[in-house]
Amino acid sequence: MHTRYLTLLLILTAVLCTAVTAFTVLVDPLDIYRVVVREGFNLSKTEYQKYARLAKPVQIEFHQPERLAFGSSRVDLAMPMEYGKAAKQFPNGFNAGLNSANLQSILEVLQHASITGEVKDVLIGVDFYMFNSLNQMAYTYPEALASLNPNPWQRRFKQVSTTVFSPGMLEASLATVRHQDGPPKRKPSGQAFMAPEIEKARDDGYENQFRRYEDGLVRHVWTACRDNRFAYQFAGNPDSLAIFRDILRLAKTEGFRLTLFIAPVHARMLEVLDASGLWHDYEQWKRDMVTMIEAEQNPSITLWDFSGYHEYAAEPLPADPAGTMRWYIDSSHYTEALAERMLDVMYDGATGFGVPLDSHMINDHLNGLRSARDLYRASHAEQFRGLQERAQRLLAEKARNGKHCPESVPSDL
């Protein structure tokens, strides 16, 4: 009797485990296995964002895209991999953008992609805050990356066990099935759908959205230091310039085309950056990237600057509470429509927006941005005063409550 009971228990356990495994694979909350994709069942990957740092490297290894886009939530939300000339050249593209991505995470996932597949084209949206030494953090799921877990059998076992057999994935699968009434959250290319974010901006009010991002950037994103210091390396922390150099050298070693771009943030964000006393660091950051890129002597690397006070960045906030902005959802995040304009310039040869940076024109370019800034301020005097006053209040608050940062280390370009 005891033996029969134990045998039955083992059979039931095996059946239950098999059923749970099949259910998780079929629902596929992280869009990895794609056995079934059906509207009303699992089309909308509602739980994906919680596990994006796990999902994206596993998707890269499983589907081996030739073309990749990296960056922060700006890239994740707005960069359409199916659009333009580059998409026709490399149709198997993947958006590897991550919220609050830092240079270290970009390097590690890019190394992972290079080890597990054949990468031919890479697009990276570089952000000023990415280069702050304090923002370089260890990857959340190092066991999923070939760059950190080189044993392929061990890595695949860990990937499958985490994305299929874990309690978290069962919970994510159940939640995915339950919440299929809304629009899809993710494209197969890895990009988040922007429509929910646009709706949120309209519901909350664009002024609130803009202020929330501007305040966060001053408080802790650009730098969390009490003295508001920005540095490529703080004592005891990673050297962000060394990480950036590793990305540049990987392009040469692996032979892929590398296109870097500085985002076209809204003019209000540039005004807040200046009010925070970081304009000089912002300009020096652009100069330093140019210096490092040219030192590599690799014609396959290009750096584009889409920042500035151009017509897109000067788009006014809607006067109508029900209105929608065409080019922005907040002061930091541009829309997919503006991303398409950038892709037209970088890959299709369109002109009139953005410039490729090099040492011959960088000084004139930066002088031109300052002149455009002065003109913008003259026509937005009240906005300028309001942004200045708010930034100063936040800096005073940070001086009292901010982080005690270690000494910064002089950079070695």
Q: Is residue 221 part of a domain?
A: yes
pLDDT digits (tens, 9 = 90+) for 106-127: 999 999 999 999 999 999 999 9
Residue 8 has pLDDT above 80, yes or no: no
**What is the overall mean pLDDT for the chain?**
93
Q: What is the DSSP letter of 121?
A: E
- SS3 at position 403: strand
* Dihedral angle sign, alpha carbons of residues 303, 194, 269, 372: positive
Cβ-contact 134, 103 below 8 angstroms: no
For the chain, what is the domain count? 1
pLDDT digits (tens, 9 = 90+) for 126-182: 999 999 999 888 899 999 999 999 999 999 999 988 998 888 999 999 999 999 987
Question: What residues are paired with 302 via a beta bridge?
Answer: 259
Q: Is residue 171 part of a domain?
A: no
Residue 7 has pLDDT above 70, yes or no: no
Q: Is residue 214 part of a domain?
A: yes
Q: What is the pLDDT of residue 353?
A: 94
Q: What is the pLDDT of residue 360?
A: 97
Q: Is residue 156 part of a domain?
A: no
Q: Is residue 15 part of a domain?
A: no
CA distance between the termini of the chain: 76
The structure tokens listed for 203 are: 């519901």
Q: What is the pLDDT of residue 62?
A: 93
Q: Is residue 173 part of a domain?
A: no
Residue 1 has pLDDT above 60, yes or no: no
Q: Is residue 304 within a helix (H) or strand (E), and if so which, with residue range?
A: strand 301-305
Q: What is the pLDDT of residue 167?
A: 87
| Mean pLDDT of the region 275-293 | 97
Q: What is the chain's Cα-based Rg?
A: 23
pLDDT digits (tens, 9 = 90+) for 52-82: 999 999 999 999 999 999 999 999 999 999 9
Q: What is the C-alpha to C-alpha distance for residues 404 and 226, in angstroms, rounded to an integer?
A: 6
Question: What residues are paired with 122 via a beta bridge?
Answer: 68, 258
pLDDT digits (tens, 9 = 90+) for 184-204: 889 999 999 999 899 999 999
Cβ-contact 309, 318 below 8 angstroms: no
Strand pairing report for 67-70 and 121-126: parallel
Q: How confident is the model at residue 342 (pLDDT cuts 50, 70, 90)?
A: very high
Which DSSP string corresponds to 341-376? Answer: HHHHHHHH---SS-EE--TTTHHHHHHHHHHHHHHH
- The strand ranges marked E within 232-350 are 257-262, 301-305
Q: What is the C-alpha to C-alpha distance for residues 342 and 306, in angstroms, rounded to an integer?
A: 8
Q: How confident is the model at residue 19 (pLDDT cuts 50, 70, 90)?
A: confident
The structure tokens listed for 247 are: 């990305």
Q: Is residue 287 part of a domain?
A: yes
Q: What is the pLDDT of residue 16?
A: 64
| Mean pLDDT of the region 229-255 | 96
Question: What residues are paired with 355 via a beta bridge?
Answer: 305
Query: pTM of the full predicted structure?
Result: 0.95
Q: Is residue 409 part of a domain?
A: no
Kindly compute the dihedral angle of the four CA atoms of residues 193, 194, 197, 203, in this order, to the nearest 10 degrees: -110
Q: How confident is the model at residue 388 (pLDDT cuts 50, 70, 90)?
A: very high
Q: What is the C-alpha to C-alpha distance for residues 190 and 185, in angstroms, rounded to an integer?
A: 10
* Domain coverage including residue 230: 56-149+178-401
Strand pairing report for 257-262 and 301-305: parallel
